[in-house]
Amino acid sequence: MVDVEGLRIDLKSSDLATRTSAAEQFSQMGSAATAAAAELVQTCGDDETASQFAVAALEEMGPPPVDSREHLSALLSSPQSLVGYWAATLIGRLKIAAKDCQDNLASVLVSSSNPAVRERAAWALGEIRADSEAAIQALTKASQSSNARLQRLAAASLEQLRA
Amino acid sequence: MVTQARRPDVVRKKKATQSKSRVSIVFWMILTGITGGGLGGHFKPDLPIIGPLVQKLLAWKSSSAPDDATDISDLAEMFRAPATSPGGSVSSIQRPPPGYNAPVQLASSRRPPDKLLIASFNIQVFGESKMAKPEILTLLADVVRQFDVVAIQEVRAKSDDILPRFLAAINADGSRYDFIIGPRLGRTVSTEQYAFVFDTTRVEYNPQQVGTPPDPADRLHREPYVARFRARTQSPAQAFTFWLVNTHTDPDEVSEEVDALADVFRMMQTAAPDEDDVILLGDLNASESQLGRLGQIPGIGWAVSGAMTNTRQNKAYDNLIFMRQATSEYTGRWGVFDLQRAYGLTPEQALMVSDHYPVWAEFLIWESLPPNRMTQAQQPLQR
């Protein structure tokens, strides 16, 4: 049996090789890697090699555990854009179960300096069926953005919310 | 076709901070890395690849004594040594049970001289880590040698020497493969590259017809990497020519991206007036029933149908897509290269290689119609 808990600890090791090895093993686990969803999102801000394996694990794992949403929500505002991007992505995958993350997502949509993070936040707000005033305002503003992709994603999310 | 020469090591990150106008200005980029070498033929008898000979292969696998071991067994042995899996030792080599009826095709041990085997393979996080594992590198090189052209997805590395080193491993047996590689693409700092690895004794490509098509509406996380190939024959004017469109969709925006790929496909159909064969291949993160507008193009077809293509055998993500009528060179043979069975790996070992299996389809080396199309091409193909 794979020692998932041990690997979660390894992701936080002070030794880069240990962290990289743990991330690589999670990248081979498929949905079983969800147990370390938040830790893997944090690893996206690590050294490039470890980060690559963390991204590979996150791409394949599917939706994270619902109880990871608070941790993920806190990572949305990470100064490392890849961390924020993947936090938004996993929250979006949780769909309506992550609705209580909507205001943090809205905040990121308004204030993140990274376009990819803002775009994923706009996408995620639609996925989680956001309905708060802050979320609707943020999406409405984003739907008028000069960034064509952000504009399209925000408009699509607003459309989802109306449906 | 508008072309722009670029060095193969140029980094092109598709960040939203980039102006999309730059993307549209760069209509076609030439990104070629030309290496190669080695002498001798590339055929390796007795190496199973996918195709209709699955039963023969499985019978052989289950009945072989240790002293019958071939290169494949050697590879399996290599996996035994120092490697450990998340679950501990990976020393037990799993073999298919006798009489097992595989749902996939295994190929013949030789590539037919009058046909091309074109494959797509997502080699998950193909970079330094896999290159540093001799058993994986040897296996990957052997996989490539089963095909005439392999479209690779997920080259992820800082350095630009991954493909040259991989090529050296492929050609170590005297094969004569070469590669071309695209720019680094992605919306974030995590980028990946596409590559084509091809047997230069079997196909050639046109350096003037290689590049990354534009995505003016910015719908794709990674625009496809395209190249035009031609089968090597004694009558080049009658040889099968075709575009390959190498693609990898984002798993969270699949429906939008497969719709966008429909537009890419249609654009490639008119990209060269003398070319009607467009083969879009790669990791679509979508089964044949989830292809959106791409799957609704009148007359379009796909090779892989009703088969799982990931290593866990629970997703049908990879495929080769083309117009059935135009690309009548397709013989109807296709397969999923089950690495676990072909090389006698455990599930954990197979996942160390990739979370995807290669998928392939077979095409005739002769154009079905109309002839002499490549004679109209303005530039000679790479020799």
Residue A2 is predicted with a pLDDT of: 80
Confirm or reject contact between A29 and chain B (CB < 8 A): yes
d(CA A127, CA B307): 30
CA torsion B249-B255-B259-B265 (nearest 10°) is 30
Confirm or reject contact between B159 and chain A (CB < 8 A): no
Select from B241, B154, B252 the least CA-distant residue to B204.
B241
If chain B, 383 residues long, is cut into consecutive pieces of 10 residues, what is the mean pLDDT of each piece? Answer: 33 39 39 30 32 35 32 50 28 28 40 94 97 97 97 96 98 96 96 97 97 95 98 97 98 97 98 97 97 98 97 97 97 97 96 98 90 46 43
- The closest CB to that of A49, out of B129, B252, B348, belongs to B129
Confirm or reject contact between A144 and chain B (CB < 8 A): no
Residue B370 is predicted with a pLDDT of: 55
Across the range A87-109, mean pLDDT stands at: 98
Confirm or reject contact between B125 and chain A (CB < 8 A): yes
d(CA A88, CA A119): 9
d(CA B179, CA B3): 19
Compute φ and ψ for B169, nearest 5 degrees. Answer: -70, -40
* Residue A163 or residue A56, greater confidence: A56
The token pair that represents B315 in the structure block: 């997703």
The token pair that represents B256 in the structure block: 């939008």
Residue B78 is predicted with a pLDDT of: 53
pLDDT tens for A4-48 read 999 999 999 999 999 999 999 999 999 999 999 999 999 999 999
Across the range A118-147, mean pLDDT stands at: 98
Residue B74 is predicted with a pLDDT of: 54
Across the range A119-140, mean pLDDT stands at: 98
pLDDT tens for B41-92 read 222 323 334 333 333 333 333 333 333 323 444 555 555 433 222 222 222 2
* Residue A147 or residue B380, greater confidence: A147
Q: Which residue of B has its CA nearest to A5?
A: B86
Residue B277 is predicted with a pLDDT of: 98
